Amino acid sequence: MTLNFILNGKNLSVETSPDRRVVDLLREDLGLSGTKECCGSGECGACTILVDGESRLSCLMLAAQLEGRTLLTIEGLASNGELHVVQQAFVDHGGVQCGFCTPGMVLATLDLLRRIPDPTRAEVRRELSGNLCRCTGYQKIVDAVMAAARTLNGGMS
């Protein structure tokens, strides 16, 4: 079937089988391997993307569900080579080690800051509890998110 949706700001028309998992569509068909798969069953959050601004697990989404929707994957976040505030914060505060959880973690962070613009550390941990990380122990990820929130709030908290 033909699907029409907006991907990273661009209109896209894709021919695919309706039951193709979105994570496979992105990685294998569209060459966007920034979105990772690491469990395939909704337990790790590595496949997180934003659909109409909301975080969703792309391993539990079927291609047909994309019709008419607006998707943001990690590749669409930086603009003109400039990192988004959240991405920069992850870089600066040591929130990236092996990097495999990072795309999902960054997008989950965007979702969290949209809903809670000025979170506490505890709230950050709660809202990122759906994204597993095996390298960092989470602390520097929380540091990064808190710093990003401060920056986005105009340096105030």
- When the beta carbons of 79 and 153 are compared against another protein, the nearer one is 79
According to the binding rule CB under 8 A, does residue 109 interact with another protein? no
Antiparallel, parallel or unpaired: β 48-51 and 54-57: antiparallel
Looking at 137, 151, 153, 157, which residue binds another protein (CB under 8 A)? 137
According to the binding rule CB under 8 A, does residue 110 interact with another protein? no
According to the binding rule CB under 8 A, does residue 119 interact with another protein? no
According to the binding rule CB under 8 A, does residue 113 interact with another protein? no
Handedness of CA 61, 63, 66, 70 (dihedral sign): positive
Looking at 4, 120, 139, 157, which residue binds another protein (CB under 8 A)? 139
Q: Is 98 left (phi over 0), alpha (psi -120 to 50) or beta?
A: alpha
Smallest distance, another protein to C-beta of residue 11, A: 20
Residues written for the chain? 157
φ and ψ of 2, to 5 deg: -100, 130
According to the binding rule CB under 8 A, does residue 32 interact with another protein? yes
- When the beta carbons of 71 and 101 are compared against another protein, the nearer one is 101
Residue 37 token pair: 């798969």
